[in-house]
Amino acid sequence: MKKVSRKVGKYEVGQTIGKGTFAKVKFARNTETRDSVAMKVLARTTILKHKMVDQIKREISIMKIVQHPYIVRLHEVLASRTKIYIILEFVTGGQLLDKIVHQGKLPENECRRYFQQLIDAVAHCHNKGVYHRDLKPENLLLDACGNIKVSDFGLSALPQQGVGLLHTTCGTPNYVAPEVLRSRGYDGAASDVWSCGVILYVLLTGYLPFDETNLPTLYEKINAAEFSCPSWFCFGVKSLIHKILDPNPKTRIQIEGIRKDPWFRKNYVPVKYREDKEVNLDGVCAVFDDIQDNYVAEKLENHEAGPLMMNAFEMITLSQGLNLSALFDRGQDYVKRQTRFVSRKPAKFITSTIEAVAESMNLKVHTHNFKIRLEGISANKAGQFAVVLDVFEVAPSIFMVDVRKAAGDTLEYHKFYKDLCAKLDNIIWKPTDGVASQSLY
């Protein structure tokens, strides 16, 4: 059984590693340099149908402007007749939220280091006149060295839009500043600072300062800044959080004040980097123009029916270096936003079992070519909850089922994944022959 080989220009495209409402993110490899990249794929028809041209141009422009060691880097943008490809830095450490779910509250010194890096990245954005407007642990990735990488600038405001007050209500409710909810205009810098304060609280405690399933009640608590600090908070961090989570944006501490705060300054070493002096945005418009000479070639080879064959390179890269234990150890509590398990049952039996279990959980099931999409309503009934499962053959008669969240809350997804695995216990392979998972490669 052959693996589908797909190329876009000089990039060899692998499996989907993330999916949003309007875009997919695929793992890819530069065939010239052999470097791994993340390829964000958007269909031109979708962009036009939903009138997203200006938004996509804005996101690309912002990522070109805000080049910083603690921000995901944009390598280039490509276009074909049907799609737009945004080539991004491939960040291997997962989301910061994954670590919080795994460990709960993090040690104070570790929280401080993440927070220092976050503030450095946000300060850089603000210096460029860019406001993120959707800062949360899900949009903070970790690189191989454990450093923060801010991602997802899809809701950000550009410099020319940041003059005066912003008026678009956007972001994730639990992390949104009170003034954003009031719809009277707000300062993008102050609202980003509020979100950073919520993130710091979550890092230190493992839970949200404002968390209600009922949205009106949640908004009331955010507007009143109704939260409490646990007894283990030291005076310094408690003081800083109260200065940040000030419901009045005019008296709320600013970035400069945070950087002068004694708790923040402990072991603080500002990052050193050399920024590109000139950023050319001319190419941003070009990718949307119908200029045939600029189209990138798309190739699809060796397509055959059955699950795709995943090669060792993809498995190793997508499994946190050489540590493949997460593929086999279902006893651990740690599950990531993208999760996977292994089965030795036939591929068709795997899909039919997943379909049956999903239907028993009152989920809608859509299956096509060993890809399964499960849909339902989120626990707080505030929106859709969706999960996508892909079946891959990783060795003869050994299949890996890759599971990822497509829509809904990430914490809800973690609970769903554990429940799903419990119900699929009869197809999940648990090696008992003494062969260590690391010996596969």
| CB-CB contact of 387 with 403 (8 Å) | yes
Amino acid (1-letter code) at residue 79:
A
Catalytically active residues are 134
Bridge partners (DSSP) listed for residue 6: 13, 300
Of 350, 333, 434, nearest to 389 by C-alpha is: 350
426: exposed, middle or buried (C-beta count within 10 Å: 0-12, 13-18, 19+)? exposed
Distance CA 148, CA 4 (A): 34
Was 49 annotated as part of a binding site? yes
Q: Is 62 helix (H, G, I), strand (E, B) or coil?
A: helix
Residue 411 CA neighbour count, 13 Å, CB half: 15
Question: Cα(247)–Cα(108) distance, rounded to whole angstroms?
Answer: 25
DSSP letters spanning 340-374? EEEE-S-HHHHHHHHHHHHHHTT-EEEEETTEEEE
Decide: 155 and 132 in contact? Cβ < 8 Å. Answer: yes
Axis crossing angle, helix 188-205 with helix 108-127, rounded to the nearest 10: 170
CA–CA gap between residue 310 and residue 392 (Å, rounded): 6
CA distance 117 to 146: 11
Contacts of 247 (CB under 8 A, 6+ apart): 178, 222, 223, 224, 225
Closest by Cα among 168, 225, 160 to 197 = 225
Token pair for 57: 């141009």
Q: Is 22 exposed, middle or buried (0-12, 13-18, 19+ CB in 10 A)?
A: middle
In this structure, are residues 327 and 436 in contact, taking their beta carbons and an 8 Å threshold? no
Q: What are the tokens at 40?
A: 């964000």
Q: Phi and psi dihedrals of 430, rounded to 5? A: -120, 100
Decide: helix, strand or coil at residue 65: helix
Can you read off the two tokens belonging to residue 104?
Answer: 């709960």
User: Can you say which residues are annotated as belonging to the binding site for ATP?
Assistant: 49
User: Can you say which residues are annotated as belonging to the binding site?
Assistant: 49
